[in-house]
Structure 1
Amino acid sequence: MHIRPGCAAALGATVSAEGVNFALFSAHATRVELCLFSPNGQTEQARLTLPEAEGGIWSGFVPGLKPGAVYGYRVHGPYEPEAGHRFNPNKLLIDPYARQVVGPLVWDDALMGHEVGHPRGDLSFDTRDSAPFVPKAVVCAALPPAAPGPRRPWDETVIYEAHVKGMTARHPAVPRGLRGTYQGLASQPVIDHLVRLGITAIELLPVHAFLDDRFLVAQGLRNYWGYQPIGFFAPEPRYGLSAPILEIRQMVERFHAAGIEVILDVVFNHSGESDETGPTLAFRGIDNSSYYRLTEDGRHYINDTGTGNTLNLSHPMMLRLAMDSLRYWVEQIGIDGFRFDLAATLARGKRGGFSPRAAFLSTLRQDPVLARVKLIAEPWDVGPGGYRLGEFPPPFAEWNDRYRDGVRRFWRGDGSRAELARRIVGSAEIFDVSGRLATTSVNFLSAHDGFTLQDVVSFVKKHNLPNGEGNRDGHSENLSDNFGIEGPSDDPAITAARAARKRAMLATLLLSQGTPMLLAGDEIGHSQRGNNNAYAQDNDTTWLDWAAADPDLVAFVARLTALRRAHPVLRQRRFLHSGLRAEDGLRDLVWRLPSGEEPKGPDWHAPGICCLGAELRVAAAAPCWGAAAAFLVLNPGGPTIMRLPEGRWRMMLDSADPLAPEAEFAAAETPVAAQSVQLFIAAAPEPVQERP
């Protein structure tokens, strides 16, 4: 086995007919060794020094090497933690550009660049070989370009946030050998369920290769959510069978064939290496001061993420890595979009402040590949000034936690009409800037982080003791209600009240302007037993309980998405501001009290919230026009009577009577049950047409 000068143009392992080119960026290394292993990753068979170093990129070409070769790196350089350098060639390192990894991470003190327990702490130097305990990279041939997906417009999008394993681990119709895998997720029973629900995009919790935190393993737990990445190209092997890359691509192809886009939750704000006391697995040992944001003393890590470190997206090579990864998942796997975890961190500049013109956001926006896919920001982090809702530039959509909180308060009975009104018409006061669309607001009632919808109506307190942190983790205020009994109840009155509240909240979500996101399991009534931070619960707590699924609730959600799909007035691209429509002199948005009158100042914040009506038409600012109109009635209080606007209305939905068929409603007033939502559509509207 020998090595000759290579090419620095393409980072990672690039296969050609003659062999494999290896390239790794490290600006401060003095030598880089390529280590080749046996196919099972157990035995190091060769150690070759990369002969070329050009602009900080070390490269070499190994003739005759084939796809499937297993490798890692050892990087030499100064071990000077107080200057930001933590090179230690005794530690085998994962290629950040690895397309596949093999072998588990086995926690051992040899993974640390310093001696654990040494009086000098992380300033000490550990000489043990970490290779037996580290996953290895695998050389992979490039895939042919992926076919484009459905490319659903935002105003037709309904997102379903799901976990690869949790979706199918207990699904009786999925073959046992496929449960919890990429293939199982894309099996026909799952696809049929999503199609029936009217889902157009499935958003997956992280599938980049990640690790199980040491403190979790010590307690017999695992990192279920996956927010501890150790590679940004390789799919997580635990969800694969024999060929994870091909399996995840086949999964995407199957979803596309069903008209469903695939969005990935990606974590570019930090890595799984933690702080200075953590393991040396990749970035830390390759070039610590380039890949991470460090404090002024150079020794410690800026921790805007709450995980111990923050990746340095201000550095051009870390930025390149992120962009290369995203393009790879789009072009070779077929991914249709990304949700960026703690996206405020990605938009922090060299000085640590947030900027909508940060290098990461600007580079994404101009990239010809990435600018055409869906981009969703989680618009906050735990760093200073980290809450940036509404401040991301187009074409980003954003998770809107103010929607979640406002809707939960309204239906719990301690919110306000004003807050609900802002949320159900797209949160225009937050997002209607810089030409952004009403679909920018990703509305949700629940997500992986927090209570499920079933738990929102069943628990007041969090019940996180199984996480092993003394119930100190997770949010303490969930804006939830237990209807008098904490947890499950057999009381028919409580069960009925909880069901009514869930239907009302789901109707609110799917009939609001903006882009709705449904948490997997909310449509079947799945509970996590009050655990609102189930990141370590890789078990029945998080795996969807299909055997206990509520078929009536599934049918109700399917009916809601069908109504949203059939009536574009419910999912407009332009914001509604009660603007006067030139064509007919009618306003595009009119709020109504039960009396039929419009609310005045005090009505918006009156104590004891009661019924509110919203009369909706095609936006005055929209490029099209039509006489279609909808009237939405939301009643968190007791039974009441709502006076309908003038005209002929057809009742399309009553959440209090979910099985009731559509019906013409000629009366001037409609009875509205407690804790319910009603939807009316104007009878025989004129077709939508372009404005003159």
Structure 2
Amino acid sequence: MTPDGVSVAVLAAHATAVDLCLLDPAPDGSLTERRVPLDGPSFGVWHAHVPGVRPGQRYGFRTHGVWDPAAGLRHNPAKLLVDPYARGLVGRVDLDGAVSGGAPDEPFGHADPLDSAPHVPHSVVVDVDGLRARTPDPRANRPYVPWRDTVVYEAHVRGLTMLHPHVPEDLRGTYAALAHPAVVGHLTSLGVTAIELLPVHAKSDEPHLVTKGLTNYWGYNTLGFFAPEPSYATRAAQDAGPGAVLDEVRSAVHALHEAGIEVLLDVVYNHTCEGGVDGPHLSWRGLDSTGYYRHDGNVPAQLVDTTGTGNTLDFRRPRVVQFALDSLRYWADVVGVDGFRFDLAVTLGRGSDGFDADHPFLVGLQADPALANLKLVAEPWDVGPGGWRTGQFPAPLAEWNDRFRDAARQFWLADVARLQRGGPDPGHDGVRDLATRLAGSADLFGHGDPPLARGPVASVNFVTAHDGFTLRDLVTYDHKHNEANGEEGRDGSGDNRSWNHGIEGPGNAGDTATARVAALRARSVRNLLATLLLSAGTPMLTAGDELGRTQGGNNNAYCQDDATSWVDWDLAPWQRELLDSTRALLALRREHPALTVDAFYRGTPLPGDAPSQPDLAWYDAAGEPFTHDDWHDPEARTLQMMRRTPVAGSSHVLVVLNGALSPMEVALAGRGNTDRRWRRVWGSTSGTRAMVEHPDREPGERVLLDALAVVVYLAAPRG
């Protein structure tokens, strides 16, 4: 905005003319429209200064030019287009209206002449500078939590608070609810340092979901990369307009910062909500389809799809790279968020010859001063050729570590299920892969120049995420149960590495067998939590896992905006015990520096220590160092991990894991590596800090370790 109006610019490189359309709704629902021809193009950009335009003004664009879908050109002035840089949107896409650019069911046919303006969202002018001048700046109180101390909590704005009994009903499911003391109190008492929000960019629902009466609950279907999703705002903010919605988002971020909690956004720059060639004609498709979207170069021009959604934004194009970086800077500078998780990030680094770690977009992330010191996290895969790239992104990006997820599930669930059933050994590697993940996945994240520079914190460790089973469902179902999605079970992953512990589903309340299975399931959950929260790296919890949330076996609840996906805060006693267990594990992590390292272990002595005292050491059940043969024994199921740190006065940590089906006598590790005594502080059989006193033990003393259990010991300095 300018003091007397607005300056307008929009990319439409192949258009012959572009109109700015100023819209004013009448009381009867009709629209009056004033069209302002733009000047240009200047390097593909159309522009003008328009006096008299004030905050709250609705607008859009119409493009004139060639309609030749076979060549990728889709200019149709009958279609009102959303500004890709709009700071606010009002209205929803009416898929029953005239929102297709071409004739219905003819994506390569003639242009559709029906006006789409009544059926599409409208861009809205927002006085961003005025809002910033009047309200607290969420950048001013950023916590800047070091990576080594970071604990990420992945949550959905609606799902986290829709059922919270202490949040007022008019706030539930909103940005404002995130800042409510009951929600903030839960996060801080848990030990969370960063909340990672599923997409909050303005979105639209896919046509196939609308047909089924469903919605895109997760939000990975973006319509506005600069505009907050208005439906997540309170009714009062929605009624007041996009400026109030933006204010609510900024206020929530500021309040979370006050509590020491960072805010990360899950962002989806790899595709848009316009789908394939038969999808709606809403913005980029009508402005410059060949400039924004990746095409295959054939005639007719087909969209390249490395995202599974029908389209892919073309990051070979400088304007697309600029667009994404401009959006990131806006959310960092205006909203004050602390970082981003990039959905299907391999697509963002695809050049003409595939993924490139030196891609201009990735270089931009590293070099942009506006993004310096923010947390940047890649989902290191997409669905295109060569799409799995875990460990191959450049610093300072961290990455979701799917190998951690798979190793933890394999060891504690899939392998145990096989042992229980007496099945053949499928060739898994005992404890070797799990130990690599516990130590920070140097095999994945230790490469680079110089080597080991990224450290274990580059590994965002997780056992569950929004996509897949919840932690409770991992131990309750062998198979996905996605019937409510209306796709006859075809959707969702079939590789879950889950284990129902002998009963598919929750079982019959009060049944003896069900009670026995429930106890074993609770132990398995605690084993997985301990593996996650005691490993080197950056742990990520999925909202509700600490409470035993279930989705009834649905492992792809992207379209379930109901109790299936919402966090249920009405807790049974076992769920309260699980919450206590999670708090206890996170307290151990927070209090003991050996559990929060930001450099890879080297297996060498710390400064001033004897040669026999490495920073990380592995032992078998007899308390002897692991040998080469031990590491390659597929039947090895017991492991002791001893960790030391150079921090003065800190404790050594010993994590003992027994993945066998029977109890195991274990000689506690550390002979020759420490002169301290071990004190048991946590065990997965009970799940909280030691409720009974356990005698201190000398290294080499024998203890009986329960079947399928994790026990944690600390050794404080003597004296």
TM superposition score category, shorter chain reference: over 0.9
Q: Equivalent residue for 2:348?
A: 346
Q: Does 1:547 align with 2:573?
A: no
Match of 2:581 among 535, 553, 556: 556
For residues 485-496 of structure 1, the aligned pairs below 5 Å read: 485-489=503-507, 490=509, 491-496=514-519
Q: Equivalent residue for 2:111?
A: 125
Q: Equivalent residue for 1:438?
A: 456
Matched-pair contact (CA < 8 Å) for 2:594–2:650? no
Match of 2:197 among 197, 200, 204: 204
Q: Equivalent residue for 1:301?
A: 303
C-alpha distance in structure 2 between counterparts of 1:161 and 1:46, whole Å: 44
* Number of residue pairs the alignment of both structures matches: 665
C-alpha distance in structure 2 between counterparts of 1:558 and 1:582, whole Å: 33
Q: Equivalent residue for 1:336?
A: 338
C-alpha distance in structure 2 between counterparts of 1:626 and 1:44, whole Å: 73
Match of 1:567 among 592, 602, 617: 592
Q: Equivalent residue for 1:264?
A: 265
For residues 678-689 of structure 1, the aligned pairs below 5 Å read: 678-684=711-717
C-alpha distance in structure 2 between counterparts of 1:466 and 1:413, whole Å: 26
Cα deviation 1:252-277 (Å, max 9, x = unaligned): 01110100000000000000101111
Q: Structure 1: which amino acid aligns with 2:354?
A: G
C-alpha distance in structure 1 between counterparts of 2:313 and 2:384, whole Å: 13
Matched-pair contact (CA < 8 Å) for 1:111–1:280? yes
Q: Structure 2: which amino acid aligns with 1:35?
A: C
C-alpha distance in structure 2 between counterparts of 1:607 and 1:427, whole Å: 20
Q: Does 1:166 align with 2:159?
A: yes
C-alpha distance in structure 2 between counterparts of 1:560 and 1:628, whole Å: 16
Q: Equivalent residue for 1:361?
A: 362
C-alpha distance in structure 1 between counterparts of 2:529 and 2:540, whole Å: 10
Match of 1:460 among 478, 481, 484: 478
Offset at 1:42?
4.6
Q: Structure 1: which amino acid aligns with 2:664?
A: T
Q: Equivalent residue for 2:631?
A: 604
Matched-pair contact (CA < 8 Å) for 2:70–2:108? no
Matched-pair contact (CA < 8 Å) for 1:109–1:115? no
For residues 607-686 of structure 1, the aligned pairs below 5 Å read: 607-618=634-645, 628-637=651-660, 638-644=662-668, 645-646=670-671, 647-659=676-688, 660-661=690-691, 665-667=696-698, 668-684=701-717
Q: Equivalent residue for 1:9?
A: none
Q: Does 1:316 align with 2:318?
A: yes
Cα deviation 1:274-322 (Å, max 9, x = unaligned): 1111111000000111111111116110101111010012211111111
- SS at the partner of 1:110? coil
Q: Equivalent residue for 1:72?
A: 60
* Structure 2 stretches lacking a partner, 5+ long: 238-243, 416-427
CA 1:173–1:27 in structure 2 vs 1: closer, same or farther (change >3 Å)?
A: same
CA 1:147–1:371 in structure 2 vs 1: closer, same or farther (change >3 Å)?
A: closer
CA 1:179–1:420 in structure 2 vs 1: closer, same or farther (change >3 Å)?
A: same
- SS at the partner of 1:614? strand
Cα deviation 1:97-135 (Å, max 9, x = unaligned): 0011001111125111111134xx423221111111100
Q: Equivalent residue for 2:3?
A: 17
TM-score, normalised by the number of residues in structure 1 = 0.94
- SS at the partner of 1:680? strand
C-alpha distance in structure 1 between counterparts of 2:8 and 2:571, whole Å: 51
- SS at the partner of 2:549? coil
Q: Does 1:419 align with 2:433?
A: yes
Matched-pair contact (CA < 8 Å) for 1:626–1:685? no
Matched-pair contact (CA < 8 Å) for 2:265–2:341? yes
Offset at 1:608?
4.0
Q: Equivalent residue for 1:147?
A: 139
C-alpha distance in structure 1 between counterparts of 2:201 and 2:116, whole Å: 22
Offset at 1:674?
1.8
Matched-pair contact (CA < 8 Å) for 2:162–2:172? yes
C-alpha distance in structure 1 between counterparts of 2:22 and 2:48, whole Å: 13
C-alpha distance in structure 2 between counterparts of 1:685 and 1:419, whole Å: 34
For residues 468-547 of structure 1, the aligned pairs below 5 Å read: 468-489=486-507, 490=509, 491-547=514-570
Q: Structure 2: which amino acid aligns with 1:649?
A: W
Matched-pair contact (CA < 8 Å) for 1:633–1:678? yes
Matched-pair contact (CA < 8 Å) for 2:414–2:498? no
Offset at 1:442?
0.3
C-alpha distance in structure 2 between counterparts of 1:656 and 1:594, whole Å: 18
Offset at 1:477?
1.7
Q: Does 1:177 align with 2:170?
A: yes
Q: Structure 2: which amino acid aligns with 1:494?
A: V
Matched-pair contact (CA < 8 Å) for 1:618–1:626? no
Q: Equivalent residue for 1:591?
A: 618
Q: Equivalent residue for 1:37?
A: 23
Matched-pair contact (CA < 8 Å) for 1:100–1:235? yes
Offset at 1:185?
2.1
Offset at 1:147?
2.3
- SS at the partner of 1:439? helix
Q: Does 1:116 align with 2:104?
A: yes
Q: Equivalent residue for 1:11?
A: none
* Structure 1 stretches lacking a partner, 5+ long: 1-14, 687-692
Q: Does 1:390 align with 2:391?
A: yes
Offset at 1:205?
0.4
C-alpha distance in structure 1 between counterparts of 2:33 and 2:205, whole Å: 28
Q: Structure 2: which amino acid aligns with 1:641?
A: E
C-alpha distance in structure 1 between counterparts of 2:139 and 2:637, whole Å: 51
C-alpha distance in structure 2 between counterparts of 1:176 and 1:685, whole Å: 54
C-alpha distance in structure 1 between counterparts of 2:442 and 2:578, whole Å: 30
Match of 2:328 among 323, 326, 336: 326
Q: Equivalent residue for 1:403?
A: 404
Matched-pair contact (CA < 8 Å) for 1:303–1:383? yes
Q: Structure 2: which amino acid aligns with 1:410?
A: F
TM-score, normalised by the number of residues in structure 2 = 0.90
Q: Structure 2: which amino acid aligns with 1:401?
A: D
Q: Structure 2: which amino acid aligns with 1:501?
A: S
Q: Structure 2: which amino acid aligns with 1:329?
A: W
Matched-pair contact (CA < 8 Å) for 1:35–1:44? no
Q: Equivalent residue for 1:428?
A: 442
C-alpha distance in structure 1 between counterparts of 2:694 and 2:95, whole Å: 63
Offset at 1:577?
2.9
Offset at 1:446?
0.2
Matched-pair contact (CA < 8 Å) for 1:347–1:354? yes
Offset at 1:582?
4.2
C-alpha distance in structure 2 between counterparts of 1:263 and 1:669, whole Å: 45
Q: Equivalent residue for 1:50?
A: 38
CA 1:395–1:42 in structure 2 vs 1: closer, same or farther (change >3 Å)?
A: farther
Matched-pair contact (CA < 8 Å) for 1:66–1:139? yes
Cα deviation 1:337-386 (Å, max 9, x = unaligned): 0000000000001x150000001100111000113200000000000000
Offset at 1:195?
0.5
